[in-house]
């Protein structure tokens, strides 16, 4: 039985990681830490495990096989590296780090210690997204020309356990990025996964349109971003993210090729819809996607536990995290400089 410890007992811990560890027959929750003790107490009471009084004491616990880093983004790199140096397998939430240098150091720490290292970019585990990747690979859509991917909801303050405008998601020091890093990184990873190729160019406009602190001032990270991306084979497309979609969530991806368009999570009744160039339509059963309100098993813990027990390569590795983060970093650089960035 693998023993897992979780750093950070907020929403992602409570809604997914602790729950999914509890449900996994090969893993148990051994320990938790959160600076807000009541959150650690709630998780330990519900799913088991001891409460630690500091991150360091949990990271140094000899009994632990796995550390899940589910803290604000600022701490991802330092906690993950320390855990890997201590010989623990690490599941780190996205975005894996606040910059590419730290992300590289995390990958190196995993290689040096020989542990498994996974990033919580779970969109590629959604069954419809796996099917979308297979459809592109099959050639059904012809040569892929363009894409449009979107992730928008009503804002991180509605999700974070800290709620309202006091959430760390709105504090640049702890979050490093705004909506772009929070949800854009999911879509950067997803499109790389579906198309099976890397991005090589990015241009972006990033804005803070609506979110404010209680003082009435705008938050110091972006709440909206629109990016134009190009892949190595020349596919061009847009990636739009928003924390201000008050009229309903949008988690859609459209891939267009010479033979037709595949619409994923565009039509609520048909998870995948292919509209062919000859005007025929194919509807593919593929299951729903999680929304902030509607949580289902993400598959992240089950996959990580399996990778560890079977000693198989990690599917959402540090490298995958790095390549998704690179897109975000280049988009931020483009927004700041007003230039198109090459990778
Ligand atoms: N994969 C996904 O779909 C997904 C979804 C949501 C959040 N996330 C990521 O998960 C991470 C946590 O987000 P969340 O939604 O749970 O936020 P949250 O605000 O709900 O919870 C964060 C928790 O971390 C605690 N914390 C703060 N500093 C800490 C420290 N130094 N050590 C340990 N704990 C600390 C806070 O007290 C809080 O309880 C973030 O990196 C976020 O981007 C991923």
**pLDDT digits 0-9 by tens, 72-119:** 999 999 999 999 999 999 999 999 999 999 999 999 999 999 999 999
Q: Write down the pLDDT at residue 297.
A: 82
Contacts of 62 (CB under 8 A, 6+ apart): none
Whether residue 321 has its Cβ less than 6 Å from ligand 1: no
Measured CA to CA, the distance from residue 166 to residue 153 in angstroms comes to 18
Confidence (pLDDT) at 5 = 98
Ligand 1 pocket residue status of 125, Cβ below 6 Å: no
The pLDDT value recorded for residue 166 is 82
Q: Is 35 in the pocket of ligand 1 (CB under 6 A)?
A: yes
pLDDT at 292: 60
Question: What residue ranges define each of the domains in the chain, with the CATH number in brackets?
Answer: 2-122+299-316 (3.40.50.720), 123-293+323-342 (3.30.360.10)
Strands of 66-69's sheet in order across: 50-51, 27-33, 2-7, 66-69, 89-92, 117-119
State if residue 151 touches ligand 1 by the CB under 6 angstroms criterion. Answer: no
1 close to ligand 1 (CB < 6 Angstrom)? no
Which residue has 């020309």 as its token pair? 145
Residues 190, 68, 56, 106, Cα dihedral to 10°: -40
Q: Which residues of the chain have pLDDT under 50?
A: none
- pLDDT value at position 165? 65
Other beta carbons less than 10 A from residue 22's beta carbon: 16
Question: What is the phi-psi region of residue 32: left when phi exceeds 0, alpha when psi lies from -120 to 50, beta otherwise?
Answer: beta
Positive or negative torsion for Cα 302, 271, 188, 158 = negative
Pocket test for ligand 1, best of 8, 51, 243 (most atoms within 8 A of CB): 8
CA of 307 to the centre of ligand 1 (A): 24
CA of 318 to the centre of ligand 1 (A): 19
CA of 58 to the centre of ligand 1 (A): 16
């Amino acid at each position: 039985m693998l023993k897992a410890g979780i750093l950070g007992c907020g929403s992602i811990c409570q809604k997914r990681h602790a729950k999914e560890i509890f449900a996994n027959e090969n893993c148990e929750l051994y320990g938790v830490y959160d600076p807000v003790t009541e959150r650690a107490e709630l998780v330990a009471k519900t799913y088991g495990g001891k409460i630690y009084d500091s991150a360091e004491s949990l990271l140094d616990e000899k009994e632990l096989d796995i550390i899940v880093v589910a803290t604000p983004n600022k701490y991802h790199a330092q906690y993950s590296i320390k855990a890997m140096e201590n010989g623990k397998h690490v599941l780190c939430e996205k975005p894996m780090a606040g910059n590419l240098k730290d992300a590289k150091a995390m990958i190196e720490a995993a290689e040096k210690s020989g542990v498994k290292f996974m990033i919580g970019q779970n969109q590629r585990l959604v069954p419809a997204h796996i099917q979308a990747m297979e459809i592109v690979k099959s050639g059904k859509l012809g040569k892929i020309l363009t894409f449009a991917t979107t992730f928008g909801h009503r804002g991180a303050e509605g999700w974070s356990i800290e709620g309202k405008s006091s959430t760390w998601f709105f504090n640049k020091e702890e979050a490093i990025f705004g909506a772009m890093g929070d949800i854009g990184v999911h879509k950067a990873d997803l499109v790389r996964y579906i198309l099976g190729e890397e991005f090589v160019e990015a241009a972006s406009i990033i804005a803070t349109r609506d979110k404010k602190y209680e003082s009435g001032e705008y938050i110091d990270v972006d709440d909206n971003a629109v990016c134009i991306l190009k892949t190595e084979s020349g596919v061009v497309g847009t990636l739009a993210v928003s924390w201000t979609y008050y009229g309903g969530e949008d988690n859609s991806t459209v891939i267009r090729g010479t033979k037709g368009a595949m619409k994923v999570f565009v039509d609520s009744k048909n998870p995948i819809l292919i509209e062919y160039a000859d005007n025929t339509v194919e509807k593919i059963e593929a299951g729903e996607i999680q929304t902030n309100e509607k949580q289902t098993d993400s598959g992240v813990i089950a996959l990580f536990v399996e990778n560890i027990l079977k000693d198989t390569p990690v599917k959402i590795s540090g490298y995958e995290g790095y390549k998704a983060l690179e897109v975000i970093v280049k988009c931020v650089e483009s927004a700041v400089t007003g230039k198109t960035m090459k990778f």
